[in-house]
Amino acid sequence: MNKSELVDAIASKASITKKDADSVLTAVVDAIMEAVSAGEKVTLVGFGTFEARQRQAREGRNPSTGKPIQIPATTVPVFSAGKLFKEKVAPAQEEAPKAKAKGKK
């Protein structure tokens, strides 16, 4: 799903115009990016959490030459899916019945 398809889905679910849905979606995404870039954590209960994390400097390898290179420390955006989102994507399956113990007399 791309942005225009998401805008269409939002407009139909919320019974608003596509223009309004696009404005709201753009405002939400901008607000999340601004907050995370300022070092804040954005939590949408049931959906997930957006945050910035520090990645330490490390040594890597140049894939074409195989020579070691230094990869500098950096800050990266991270999204962690919430419980309801995870359950919607991969519904919990019931536990399989336990096998009967062998060797009972």
So what's the pLDDT on residue 91? 85
1 and 13, same domain (yes or no): yes
CATH number assigned to the domain comprising residue 64: 4.10.520.10
Q: What percent of the chain has pLDDT over 90?
A: 86
Q: What domain range includes position 76?
A: 41-91
As a whole number, the mean pLDDT across the chain is 90
51 and 28, same domain (yes or no): no
- What digits encode the pLDDT tens for the residues 14-42? 999 999 999 999 999 999 999 999 999 99
Residue 46, Ramachandran bin (φ over 0: left; ψ between -120 and 50: alpha; else beta)? left
| Domain count of the fold of the chain | 2
Separation between Cα atoms, residue 27 and residue 33, nearest integer Å: 10
Average pLDDT over residues 46-52: 96
Phi then psi for residue 103, to 5 deg, are: 85, 10
pLDDT exceeds 90 at position 99? no
Q: Would you say residue 69 lies in a domain? A: yes
Q: Would you say residue 82 lies in a domain? A: yes
- pTM of the predicted model, to two decimals? 0.74
